[in-house]
A and B are shown apart, each in its own frame.
Chain A
Amino acid sequence: MSVTEALFILVVVVVTALAFDFTNGFHDTANAMATSIATGALKPKAAVALSAVLNLVGAFLSIEVALTVSNKILSIQDSSGAPIEGLMGVPILTIVFAGLVGGILWNLTTWLLGLPSSSSHALFGGLIGSAIAALGFGGVKWDGVISSILLPSLFAPLVAGLVAGVGTWIIYKLVTKIPESRRDSGYRWGQIGSASLVSLAHGTNDAQKTMGVITLSLIAYGSWTSTDSIPLWVKVSCAVAIAAGTWIGGWRVIRTLGKGLTEIHSPQGMAAETASAVIILSSSHLGMALSTTQVATGSILGSGVGKRGAEVRWSVAGRMVIAWVLTLPAAGLVGAICWFLANAIGGALGVAVVFALLVAAAAGMYFRSRRTAINPDNVNSEWEGGLAVTETAASPAEKVAASSLTERN
């Protein structure tokens, strides 16, 4: 293979990694901001702007080099983070590329359906699939898949739901006598504070993963040798990509989390976001990192269960659970297919063909989303059995106006 061909593949991998980082941003905006948007603590556009800034800052705050992030589940890198001997160069670049495509397509699919799902698990799923395709089942450390993906997925919603549920229950015990106007304005501050912490933690954690992936690719190509530092441009571009994605706002997921699961009020919002922040931060230092998305979803569910009389739509929660179960196999399948395709065609052309398919699929999903567009104006519309906003539900005010009109007639 010529030098230019390898360079071309490297460039495509870097672009794809940044695209993944971008989807990671808009897919996960909801985790921190759905509750603040739903309760009106922050205007939708202000919320995503705040979250974007905090993700940007968070990405720069990371002083850890997450180069060995895949080591728990794959055998493609040695303990220092460098590619293992036989994979140096184009082989590992192709594996990483196919895995990224699997992760991106799963993120876009779940976004289109308005379902929160873990971006990290989507990336790992894609990488597992492409590693199996390239190396056989021995390329995957199944113990690690169980201990760092499957068990945490089981625990995250339960722990978060329990903590947020108890928190909500206690809050409502304490504040029943406070007049509603003062209560809401007070808890809005609590909500914004805790949600900001979730955003900051997200920027630090998730941008780091893409930085690790790009640095790994640079080492594989041979233009970077250090395994304990990251080129500045990688840091800057990853931080900007995740912040830009966050700022675009994944309104579909925000709507499902903020309005679909349960009707959220400010005290519940604060209980949910505080529970999320505490669990995300403690779990990552107690040996079992839990997914931000799964924790945030569990917390919101818990805040619905903990408030007496609140309705929780378990059917919506059930759809999320199905999406979570499918994350690894679906992203993995796409990752495997992409690796086979790229490998069968071979070289730069194979990677280019898969990249073109990725662009086409992404464009298709974007245009499909326009049919039921969710945006800052209708993100908080009443939930009527699904993501889509019907004309009459466009805004509660319009609804009132329409009904009074029919009464008069």
Chain B
Amino acid sequence: MEILAKAFSALWQVLAVGMLLGVGIPALFSIGMRSLEHGRVPAPAGTTNASTDGTMAGPAGKAGAIVCFGVCILAVLFGIVVIIFGKQLFS
């Protein structure tokens, strides 16, 4: 019984973190992707990062995307810190 109680308490914690970060990060990334769609402007001729429809992300959309993707990159860096120092951090 004690084993089960312990396992379920760990299970809820993993599920909570999973829902927060495992769903939150892809969602934030998606908001960034959507932000890039906001107020797209026609790309001037010769632009290398223009899309196939000849547009590129507008400045506001780009700024929003940078914030979102930036947080995602921070999350990855945090993941690396957890991989290396996890035992010291959480024990």
Chain A neighbourhood of B87, CB < 8 A: 63-64, 285
B15 within 8 A of A: yes
Choice from B3, B26, B89 contacting A146 with Cβ under 8 Å: B3
B71 within 8 A of A: no
Tally of B interface residues using CB under 8 Å:
41
B45 within 8 A of A: no
| Assembly CA distance A61 to B73 (angstroms) | 20
A-B contact count (CB 8 A): 143
Given contacts A181-B52, A186-B33, A193-B76, contact A279 B6 (CB under 8 A): no
| Assembly CA distance A58 to B28 (angstroms) | 27
Residue interface bits A317-349, CB-to-B below 8 A is 1, else 0: 000000000000000000000000000000000
B52 to chain A, nearest CB (A): 6
Chain A neighbourhood of B15, CB < 8 A: 159, 162-163
B43 within 8 A of A: no
A400 within 8 A of B: no
Given contacts A167-B23, A271-B26, A287-B6, contact A282 B17 (CB under 8 A): yes
A338 to chain B, nearest CB (A): 30
| Assembly CA distance A198 to B25 (angstroms) | 15
Q: Which residue of B lies closest to A200 (CB)?
A: B83
Given contacts A159-B15, A278-B21, contact A285 B37 (CB under 8 A): no
A174 within 8 A of B: yes
A402 within 8 A of B: no
B80 within 8 A of A: yes
| Assembly CA distance A163 to B16 (angstroms) | 9
- If over half of B's interface residues share one DSSP class (helix, strand or loop), that class is named, otherwise mixed; here it is helix
A143 within 8 A of B: yes
A268 to chain B, nearest CB (A): 10
Q: Is the CB of A167 within 8 A of B86?
A: no
Interface centre among B13, B25, B86, by most A CB within 10 Å? Answer: B25
What class of interface size applies to chain A in its complex with B? 35 or more
Q: Is the CB of A270 within 8 A of B7?
A: no
Chain B neighbourhood of A64, CB < 8 A: 87
- If over half of A's interface residues share one DSSP class (helix, strand or loop), that class is named, otherwise mixed; here it is helix
Q: Which residue of B lies closest to A190 (CB)?
A: B29
B66 within 8 A of A: no
Q: Is the CB of B22 within 8 A of A163?
A: yes
Interface centre among A163, A267, A271, by most B CB within 10 Å? Answer: A163
Given contacts A174-B30, A281-B79, contact A288 B23 (CB under 8 A): no
Q: Is the CB of B19 within 8 A of A163?
A: yes
| Assembly CA distance A308 to B33 (angstroms) | 20
B27 within 8 A of A: yes
Chain A neighbourhood of B76, CB < 8 A: 193-194, 197
| Assembly CA distance A197 to B18 (angstroms) | 15
A-B contact pairs, 17 of them (CB 8 A): A58-B83, A63-B87, A171-B30, A177-B34, A181-B51, A181-B52, A182-B51, A183-B33, A200-B80, A277-B22, A278-B22, A278-B79, A281-B79, A281-B82, A285-B87, A286-B90, A288-B7
Closest 4 CB pairs of A and B: A288-B10, A278-B22, A174-B30, A163-B18
